[in-house]
Structure 1
Amino acid sequence: MDKEMRKRPIFGISRHRMGIDGKGVTTLVAFMGCPLHCKYCINAQCHDSIYEEDHSLRKGVQMLSSKELYDIVKKDNIYFQATGGGVCFGGGEPTMNADFIIEFAKLIPKGWKLTLETSLKCSCKTIESLAPYVAEWIVDIKDTNKSIYEKYTGVSSEIIQQLCYIKELVQVDTIIVKVPHIPHFNTEEDVEHSIEILKGIGITHIKEITYMEHITHINK
């Protein structure tokens, strides 16, 4: 495949993150693009066009190959090695760029940890392809109630099926599941019910979070 074809749009590279994206010092790499259209999305720009009207790249967006990304983030190798950290891929939805992530994983030194912040809105085949390379999965499930999930994200939910599948491929202690309190969409009882379901399927690392209410304008 031509190298230009392997380049992907990235709208953020955030260095020196500690205790946010798993253990150790991490660099967060945020991809453009997401199959969800969440009402309170904090990175709604991931849905914007990557090009301006004059066909130049939109401000803040970089088109990078896996090698070019590696050359940017490797400056923090000493921090990654010393703390057990590495690179966290988010977005947007990082699983849309599974081939890029796998290519990147083959470039990095031993000792770097790769983490995904994901909704797991992807195929089982994608999860299977990423499993050998990802050390930690941070999964935001929105809600296990399919009606709530669809109202909030605009798409259907297969999150429990996906979590059950990923548990067959990786150690369960490498999966952190976020269960959000979503204003006007779910209740305390909904959150408690989601946690019960997660425990029932064997998820052990569960973290409650709270979304901030705001209006998101997304270009579908």
Structure 2
Amino acid sequence: MQDFGSTINAPVFAISRLRMRTDGKGITTLVAFMGCPLNCKYCLNPQCHEPIYEADGTTPRKNIMLLTPQKLHELVKVDNLYFQTTGGGICFGGGEPTMYADFITEFRKICGRKWKITLETSLHCSDKVIKQLSEVVDHWIVDIKTMEPHAYARYTGKTSSVQKHLTSLQMNVPPEKVTIKVPLIPGFTDRSDLGHDIKEIVRRFNFIDIVKTRYRTENR
């Protein structure tokens, strides 16, 4: 999160409009933030790890927008009618959107409750952030990577805290507001791992919407 005085700014590398059946119910606009604490082998958006600024340290690089919540609202409100008619809204992704919890919280104050806010996240964040965002996010799409700690570390380059974070999510967010993605990761997990992960999630948590996915491997 970046906070310059009283103005919150966030680096955004993409705003994708008129998405359907991709980020939950209705027509949505995906807002993709720069930055991620993980370094996944098959990262879908590896550009999120690139430098934000030119060599001068102040000028955003080409195709990166440094936006305030108000400026983002001005850019996306063109689809207000679509959002309200279909029950859609904004999906924050990236990168890792939980890095910008204050930005998302402020954006909610500006757009009010008329738009649905969805978060597409690895949930690699603090309990404090989960609690903060639970008050403003309507739906969480959580990509757990894998429940197996060794495979998680090999794939993401980070120590797994998946169970801890899912516990925090369970304590703060109703299960109907959560979609859990359980991916098959070539070279890291197989179909039996998916089955084990799903059983573990069902046994330990009360989430009801669990989706199997498969990662693309072209980027790495």
TM-score tier (shorter):
over 0.9
* Amino acid in structure 1 at the alignment position of 2:195: E
- 1:69 paired with 2:72, answer yes
- 1:212 paired with 2:177, answer no
* Amino acid in structure 2 at the alignment position of 1:86: G
When the two structures are superposed, what TM-score results if normalisation uses the length of structure 2?
0.94
Aligned to 1:46: 48
Give the RMSD, CA atoms, in angstroms: 1.4
Change (3 A) 1:179 1:5: same
Q: Distance in 2 between matches of 1:57 and 1:98?
A: 21
Once the two structures are TM-superposed, the CA of residue 187 in structure 1 deviates from its matched residue by: 1.2
Q: Distance in 1 between matches of 2:207 and 2:198?
A: 9
When the two structures are superposed, what TM-score results if normalisation uses the length of structure 1?
0.94
Aligned to 1:202: 206
Q: Distance in 2 between matches of 1:22 and 1:163?
A: 20
Once the two structures are TM-superposed, the CA of residue 3 in structure 1 deviates from its matched residue by: 5.8
Aligned to 1:192: 195
Once the two structures are TM-superposed, the CA of residue 52 in structure 1 deviates from its matched residue by: 2.5
Structure 1 runs, 4 residues or longer, greater than 6 Å off: none
Aligned to 1:97: 100
Change (3 A) 1:97 1:113: same
Between stretches 102-111 and 30-39, larger displacement belongs to: 102-111
- 1:153 paired with 2:156, answer yes
Contact 2:127/2:168, CA 8 A, preserved across alignment? yes
Once the two structures are TM-superposed, the CA of residue 215 in structure 1 deviates from its matched residue by: 4.7
Give unmatched runs, 5+ long, in structure 1: none
Q: 2:167 aligns with which of 164, 168, 180?
A: 164
Q: Distance in 1 between matches of 2:18 and 2:12?
A: 18
Contact 2:44/2:219, CA 8 A, preserved across alignment? no
Q: Distance in 2 between matches of 1:11 and 1:44?
A: 11
Aligned to 2:176: 173
Contact 1:84/1:112, CA 8 A, preserved across alignment? yes
Once the two structures are TM-superposed, the CA of residue 110 in structure 1 deviates from its matched residue by: 2.9
Change (3 A) 1:85 1:3: farther
Between stretches 107-116 and 41-50, larger displacement belongs to: 107-116
* Amino acid in structure 2 at the alignment position of 1:84: G
